[in-house]
Structure 1
Amino acid sequence: MQLLIKTFHGLESVLADELKELGASNIEVLKRAVSCSGDKELMYKANLHLRTALRVLMPIANFKANNDDQLYKKIYDFDWSQFINNKTTFAIDAVAFSDTFKHSKYVALKAKDAIVDQFRDKTGARPSIDTDQPNVQINIHVSSEQFTVSLDSSGESLHRRGYRDPNHKAPLNEVLAAGMLKIAGWHKDIPLLDPMCGTGTILMEAAMLACDMPPQYKRKHLGFMGWVDYDKDLWLALHKEAEEKIHYPKVNIVGGDNYPDAVDIAKQTSLDFRLNRQIRIVRSDFKENLPTAPRGMMITNPPYGERLEKGDINGFYRSIGSHLKKNFNNWQGWLITSNFEALKHFGLRTSSKHTLYNGPLECKFVSYDLFEGEMKAFKKKVNRSRRIRE
């Protein structure tokens, strides 16, 4: 079985490492996706365990079409009885990057007509459309005149872990937050601070990672559960195996924010997932947050400037850099921002820089090694300690 797993730009290699840990083979890094080979068990595990995946797709057909009639015929001639019957509900999601097929919704409509007509012609009856929770979600990707048709085994996007109200628009996607933690190399033994935590996305992803809690642990429905070959016993066995590995270690994960509503939401979220003992959240201004241990890691998503004037946001970023330089010696600081101009005013030298996307926003995820004194003296100290170890 071939699988295509979607992710955000910049997280492809992180996702590939996750798939390797799950036992996938023939792993290939693509643009905003990773392909691999595996069986049904791997597909179920991928949906349950992958922290940096958005969707797990199973490609079932590839073809070229130069016009509407060819598209209709290719879809009509495919044997859909392998996956759909008259009692099955289905929906089609299409994405088109093509001069010929310019409208994704039209592609979806044309494909829907072809599938329905095939069943009507062969059986005299037709399957129904359900756009809310179909038994089978079909994904069509169009690049120029090349079509890839897949079954979406995830259904709802995997960034939805179940710890946030779907009507609440958080500034940071859950998949992106998980990817940031992995890029930074954070693990449960490293004290973690998010001094501008908002509703707690980074904190929740860190706590779930520390506790070996699968990101879809509380998910009630996944796309493959509506398929004709759904193996309920296998899914329940994999879910039980994962549940038995969840543990609640003592960790140092702290968050702060000066918006009381955000703090209340973050606290309730951690309580709902029984992670309130792993996460400590306080209402505080950024400058009131101090190191929680001699060494640790700060990862945060500061305001990009939507609610601040240009001068204010530049000054705010400068104050963040000054606070870290003054108070967080021997810590590593990470922040993500789409405000590249404000980032220039941070006042610290970056030790690494990564390009990521938070939805449509291009962002820089940057790190700072914090230390006392000048960079030259710091490097000399590091090199001396390396020589001693060698």
Structure 2
Amino acid sequence: MIAKTLQGLEDILAQEIAELGGEDIEIGKRMVSFKGDKQLLYKTNLCCRTALRVLKPIFSFTASDTDEVYEKIKSFDWHQYLSPEQTFSIESVVFSEEFKHSKFVTYRAKDAIADFFMEKTGKRPSVRLNNADLILNLHIAHNTCTLSLDSSGESLHKRGYRVAQTEAPINEVLAAGLILKSGWKGEKNFIDPMCGSGTILIEAALIATNTAPGIYRKDFAFERWNDYDEELFDSLYNDDSNEKEFNFKIYGSDISPKAIAIARENIKSAGMAKYIDLQVKPFQQYTEAPENGILITNPPYGERISSKDLLGLYEMIGSQLKHVFKGYDAWIISYHDECFNKIGLKPAICINMMNGSLECEYRKYEIFEGKYNDFKRETGGFKEKKKDSESTEFKKREYRFKERNNEKAEKRLPYRDKEPFTKTETRFRKKKDDFEKQPENKRERKDSSIPEWHGEEAVKKFVTFRQPSIGRTPSEDNRPGWKKLRDKNLARKEKEQMKKSRKRNYPDK
């Protein structure tokens, strides 16, 4: 099976699937593949917080053009999954130079299934874009094609508890992923001072109580499959044995009364009102923070939600973190580096994340009193280093870069088996090696026939002093070309005087 997710959350999703009992888990780009039975398929849809949809591959083949795709799909036995009385839909995802139009691929695949049933039964199933009985996913990478059943239907980020929303609400899967990335699972207080419609607050409450996020959905696509086991799914849906008590509090606030009203409706719809404390309050009005807490927030980026003074907003965030939230771990997701720079704090972790089409960063700030050098001496520095959270691709590039440098160093220096030394030591050692390689007759540094001078004798021999020109008359000047320049200036002045006298004597000419 294949579970799809947002970029940057693959490791979190893999961990969730492992906890549910998945086997042979492999992480890919925006997806995690795994093996399991029907029960695991149901549980993945119901319980995974960072999955967007769960696919069950049923047919793989290779094709070089749309005609070949048509023939291969038509040759598949569709009776076990579909009947002429049912409806179906197909979504195509294409990453290939041979297939340039994903919609045309979809049309050909649809025709193949319809023609299969027309030839076999004389009837054809209908295509339905919404709530079809069978939802198919066709994935093409180069010339490898994979046809899968979509067990989720609507994207799993649509939990079902949101009844209203603000201008730019955060994706529920991303909100849950941000919380799980921080490591928080309900062991301390939680605060979001810019909560908007309350998505992060609700996802935090679901995590703290270990409530399955899929219980609010109306249905899943697998409920319309021919082999759907209703009794099995009901037992999983009604099983609350893994839920737990939450003994802390979740605090949310926002500068907008409208946003707080919307958040209150969504929280009530999710049934999490007793765990969440809401109030209309600008971030700059915080004078104290709840003890033993963590802060996670998604401030405006200036893209979908504008701010009159965006950089000033982030400067205020940094000031509040430093003065009010001492001892906290503060996690902030944003888009612009200029905004992060205005916070004025050194991040302990930077994680690349995608928020829709925006390439964002998710940064962790460990808030402490005093200067960082004092904090580092007392505690050893940040709990986690930035390099541990860099992307895998960057780590590979860095590793290859170091490897190349090491290879060059080994060719350049014969001392790799000894203790490392500085660049200056390397330079002098190399000169020493070059000197020792010379023949004995060329190693002589001195010639005994050349006399040596020291002290005042050396100064008189090698140092000359220019005499000052102060007090000299122009006639005494013996600089090269001086006389020639003087004669040239005198001739120019004489010529100018002749012109002036001619004008006086002959004014009409």
TM-score range, shorter chain: over 0.9
| Residue number in structure 1 paired with 2:270 | 273
| 1:336-388 CA-partner distances (Å, limit 9, x unpaired) | 0112222122100000010111111111000000011001111222149x9xx
Preserved contact between residue 13 and residue 50 of structure 2 (Cα < 8 Å): yes
Of 325, 328, 333 in structure 2, the residue corresponding to residue 328 of structure 1 is: 325
Could you list the structure 1 runs, at least 4 aligned residues long, displaced by more than 2 angstroms after superposition: 165-171, 243-251, 289-295, 306-309
State the Cα distance separating 1:303 from its structure 2 match: 0.4
Preserved contact between residue 17 and residue 44 of structure 2 (Cα < 8 Å): yes
Cα distance in 1 for residues equivalent to 2:372 and 2:295? 20
- Asked if residue 113 in structure 1 is aligned to residue 111 in structure 2, the reply is yes
Cα distance in 1 for residues equivalent to 2:92 and 2:167? 24
| Residue number in structure 2 paired with 1:89 | 87
| Residue number in structure 2 paired with 1:251 | 248
Of 139, 142, 163 in structure 2, the residue corresponding to residue 141 of structure 1 is: 139
- Asked if residue 37 in structure 1 is aligned to residue 48 in structure 2, the reply is no
Preserved contact between residue 163 and residue 266 of structure 2 (Cα < 8 Å): no
Amino acid corresponding to residue 103 of structure 1 in structure 2: H
Cα distance in 2 for residues equivalent to 1:308 and 1:8? 25
Give runs of aligned pairs for residues 220-299 of structure 1, distance below 5 A. Answer: 220-241=218-239, 243-247=240-244, 249-299=246-296
Preserved contact between residue 255 and residue 281 of structure 1 (Cα < 8 Å): yes
Preserved contact between residue 248 and residue 278 of structure 1 (Cα < 8 Å): no
Amino acid corresponding to residue 288 of structure 1 in structure 2: Q
Cα distance in 1 for residues equivalent to 2:253 and 2:164? 23
- Asked if residue 12 in structure 1 is aligned to residue 10 in structure 2, the reply is yes
Preserved contact between residue 164 and residue 265 of structure 2 (Cα < 8 Å): no
| Residue number in structure 2 paired with 1:350 | 347
Instruction: Select the structure that is richer in strand.
Output: 1
Cα distance in 1 for residues equivalent to 2:288 and 2:54? 39
Cα distance in 2 for residues equivalent to 1:10 and 1:225? 30
Preserved contact between residue 263 and residue 281 of structure 1 (Cα < 8 Å): yes
Give runs of aligned pairs for residues 30-109 of structure 1, distance below 5 A. Answer: 30-109=28-107
Taking only the aligned residue pairs, the percentage that are identical comes to 43
Q: Relative to 1, partners in 2 of residues 1:67 and 1:229: Cα closer, same or farther, differing over 3 Å?
A: same
Preserved contact between residue 192 and residue 296 of structure 1 (Cα < 8 Å): yes
Preserved contact between residue 96 and residue 141 of structure 2 (Cα < 8 Å): yes
| 1:57-85 CA-partner distances (Å, limit 9, x unpaired) | 00111111111210100110111112111
Preserved contact between residue 196 and residue 259 of structure 2 (Cα < 8 Å): yes
Cα distance in 2 for residues equivalent to 1:208 and 1:215? 7
| 1:205-251 CA-partner distances (Å, limit 9, x unpaired) | 0001111210101212101011100000000011111x354455332
Cα distance in 1 for residues equivalent to 2:164 and 2:118? 37
Preserved contact between residue 191 and residue 292 of structure 1 (Cα < 8 Å): no
State the Cα distance separating 1:312 from its structure 2 match: 2.1
Give runs of aligned pairs for residues 149-164 of structure 1, distance below 5 A. Answer: 149-164=147-162
Cα distance in 1 for residues equivalent to 2:256 and 2:27? 40
State the Cα distance separating 1:15 from its structure 2 match: 0.4
Cα distance in 2 for residues equivalent to 1:55 and 1:290? 43
Structure 1: gaps (5+ residues): none
| Residue number in structure 2 paired with 1:24 | 22
Q: Relative to 1, partners in 2 of residues 1:83 and 1:108: Cα closer, same or farther, differing over 3 Å?
A: same
Aligned Cα root-mean-square deviation (Å)? 1.8
Preserved contact between residue 193 and residue 299 of structure 1 (Cα < 8 Å): yes
Cα distance in 2 for residues equivalent to 1:259 and 1:296? 24
Q: Relative to 1, partners in 2 of residues 1:65 and 1:257: Cα closer, same or farther, differing over 3 Å?
A: same
Most deviating of 221-230 and 243-252: 243-252
Give SS of 1:158's match.
coil
Q: Relative to 1, partners in 2 of residues 1:76 and 1:223: Cα closer, same or farther, differing over 3 Å?
A: same
Preserved contact between residue 9 and residue 50 of structure 2 (Cα < 8 Å): yes
Preserved contact between residue 338 and residue 361 of structure 1 (Cα < 8 Å): yes
Q: Relative to 1, partners in 2 of residues 1:21 and 1:326: Cα closer, same or farther, differing over 3 Å?
A: same
State the Cα distance separating 1:108 from its structure 2 match: 1.1
Cα distance in 1 for residues equivalent to 2:255 and 2:359? 26
Cα distance in 1 for residues equivalent to 2:52 and 2:112? 28
Q: Relative to 1, partners in 2 of residues 1:168 and 1:304: Cα closer, same or farther, differing over 3 Å?
A: closer
Of 122, 125, 143 in structure 2, the residue corresponding to residue 124 of structure 1 is: 122
Amino acid corresponding to residue 368 of structure 1 in structure 2: Y
Preserved contact between residue 257 and residue 283 of structure 1 (Cα < 8 Å): yes
Preserved contact between residue 160 and residue 218 of structure 2 (Cα < 8 Å): no
Amino acid corresponding to residue 264 of structure 2 in structure 1: K
Preserved contact between residue 178 and residue 202 of structure 1 (Cα < 8 Å): yes
State the Cα distance separating 1:294 from its structure 2 match: 2.6
State the Cα distance separating 1:257 from its structure 2 match: 0.6
Most deviating of 63-72 and 288-297: 288-297
| 1:144-170 CA-partner distances (Å, limit 9, x unpaired) | 222111100000000011111488764
Cα distance in 2 for residues equivalent to 1:161 and 1:244? 21
State the Cα distance separating 1:292 from its structure 2 match: 3.7
**Structure (1 or 2) with the larger CA radius of gyration:** 2
| Residue number in structure 2 paired with 1:319 | 316
Tell me the matched-pair count: 381
Give SS of 2:273's match.
coil
Preserved contact between residue 96 and residue 142 of structure 1 (Cα < 8 Å): yes
TM-score (norm 2): 0.72
Give SS of 1:216's match.
helix
Cα distance in 2 for residues equivalent to 1:362 and 1:184? 19
Preserved contact between residue 291 and residue 328 of structure 1 (Cα < 8 Å): yes
Q: Relative to 1, partners in 2 of residues 1:35 and 1:291: Cα closer, same or farther, differing over 3 Å?
A: farther
| Residue number in structure 1 paired with 2:460 | none
Give SS of 1:182's match.
helix
Cα distance in 1 for residues equivalent to 2:316 and 2:166? 29
